[in-house]
């Protein structure tokens, strides 16, 4: 498939003036729904990948190949530009290179590469840790070197705001910018003081983790002025799907008549999000008649 168009479209967002909220997507159908609703881009994160692929919590037991395969399925199902959050790149700087190669082949438009120490090391401490700035820079440089399509965005991602002084976080962001990343993803940003201090130190676009719309940094106009181009809204879609699936199966298990179960997608909506019209058209063109199903 030719991924260049969606990567160019996403570059326009990154180089634009507005802050955009991506849709949290985790499989082919969720991507099709997001595309139909007019989202400019989708976000596929390691946490929801663990849920969608393994049905397990976000503790980094998912493998790169499993993550990349699901990203490919999402990208193949729709033309929605897909951003991927790849945790720490599944290892050291050399593993990062492999991660970039796999996801570039899978068609993603952007990769957010984190500097967290992961998976959890042995020992009693459960505190979040980040790698040294030097190691982080090495991983960012490795990601950039592995990228062949320069239109794909490489963003450095850090959670240091939650554990380090602001001065240290700024030094980390500056170092990643000098390494050449296209954007800086800040997880855990809460205040205008934090955001404005980092904005004054770097020139590249900023991505933000989940932003509370009622917080002091929740205003999208303000975020746009601060150079924020992507601001997540959490991963509510998969949680809503889990609740709907649970409620439906419980109702059926409890003996509810299937005809009275609530919250079921209509036949028309299912046809729309599965692109049945395309298959009808292709059947007429290439099979000599309409598709009638099984």
Alpha carbons 290 and 272: distance in angstroms, whole number: 17
The per-residue b/e assignment along 51-67, b for 16 or more CB within 10 angstroms, e otherwise, is bbbeeeeeebebebeeb
Predicted local distance difference test score (pLDDT) of residue 2: 84
pLDDT of residue 54: 95
Model confidence at 127, pLDDT cuts 50, 70, 90, reads confident
User: Does 110 score more than 70 pLDDT?
Assistant: yes
Whether pLDDT at 40 is above 70: yes
CA-based nearest residue to 183, from 202, 204, 201: 204
Question: pTM here?
Answer: 0.94
pLDDT at 293: 65
Residue 60 confidence (pLDDT) above 90: no
- pLDDT for the residue 121: 84
Each domain of the chain, given as residue ranges in start order, spans 4-232, 267-294
* pLDDT, mean of residues 245-264: 96
Average pLDDT over residues 3-24: 96
Crossing angle for the helix pair 64-77 and 28-36, to the nearest 10 degrees: 40
Q: How confident is the model over 233-254, as a mean pLDDT?
A: 96
Give me the pLDDT at residue 257, please. 97
How far the first Cα of the chain sits from its last, in Å, is: 29
Instruction: Tell me the three-class secondary structure of the chain, residue by residue.
Output: CCCHHHHHHHHHHHCCCCCECCEECCCHHHHHHHHHCCCCCEEEEHHHHHHHHHCCCCCCCCCHHHHHHHHHHHHHHCCCCEEEECCCCCCCHHHHHHHHHHHHHHCCCEEEEECECCCCCCCCCCCCCECCHHHHHHHHHHHHHHCCCCCCEEEEEECHHHCCCHHHHHHHHHHHHHHCCCEEEECCCCCHHHHHHHHHHCCCCEEECCCCCCCCCCCHHHHHHCCEEEECCCCHHHHHHHHHHHHHHHHHHCCCCHHHCCCCCCHHHHHHHCCHHHHHHHHHHHCCCCCCCC
Q: What is the mean pLDDT of the chain?
A: 95
Residue 84 has pLDDT above 90, yes or no: yes
pLDDT at 196: 98
pLDDT > 90 fraction of the chain, expressed in percent and rounded: 92
- Predicted local confidence at residue 119, as pLDDT: 86
Q: In the prediction, which pLDDT does 124 show?
A: 78
Alpha-carbon distance of 10 to 13, in angstroms, equals 5
123 confidence band (pLDDT: 50, 70, 90) = confident
According to CATH, the topology of domain 4-232 is: TIM Barrel (3.20.20)
User: What is residue 291's predicted lDDT score, i.e. its pLDDT?
Assistant: 78
At residue 292, does pLDDT exceed 80?
no
Q: What is the pLDDT of residue 294?
A: 62
pLDDT tens per residue across span 167-188: 999 999 999 999 999 999 999 9
């Amino acid at each position: 498939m030719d991924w260049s168009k969606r990567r160019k479209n996403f570059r326009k967002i990154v180089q634009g003036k507005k802050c955009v909220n991506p849709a949290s997507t985790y499989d082919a159908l969720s991507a099709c729904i997001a595309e139909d609703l007019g989202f400019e881009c989708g976000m596929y994160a390691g946490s929801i990948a663990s849920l969608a692929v393994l049905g397990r919590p976000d503790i980094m037991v998912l493998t790169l190949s499993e993550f990349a395969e699901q990203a490919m399925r999402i990208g193949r199902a729709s033309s929605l530009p897909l951003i991927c959050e790849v945790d720490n790149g599944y290892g050291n700087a050399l593993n990062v290179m492999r991660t970039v190669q796999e996801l570039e082949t899978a068609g993603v438009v952007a990769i957010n590469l984190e500097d967290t120490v992961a998976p959890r090391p042995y020992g009693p401490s459960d505190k979040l840790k980040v790698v040294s700035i030097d190691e982080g820079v090495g991983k960012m440089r490795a990601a950039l070197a592995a990228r062949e399509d320069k239109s794909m965005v490489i963003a450095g991602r850090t959670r240091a705001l939650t554990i380090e002084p602001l001065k240290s976080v700024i030094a980390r962001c500056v170092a990643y910018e000098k390494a050449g990343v296209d954007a800086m993803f800040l997880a855990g940003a809460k205040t205008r003081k934090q955001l404005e201090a980092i904005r004054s130190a770097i020139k590249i676009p900023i991505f933000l983790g989940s932003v509370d719309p009622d917080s002091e940094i929740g205003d999208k106009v303000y975020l746009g002025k601060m150079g924020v181009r992507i601001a997540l809204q959490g991963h509510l879609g998969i949680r809503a799907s889990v609740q709907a699936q649970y409620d439906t199966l419980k109702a059926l298990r409890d003996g509810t008549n299937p005809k009275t179960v609530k919250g079921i997608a209509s036949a028309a909506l299912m046809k729309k999000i599965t692109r049945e019209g395309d298959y009808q058209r292709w059947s007429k063109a290439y099979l000599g008649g309409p598709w009638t199903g099984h």
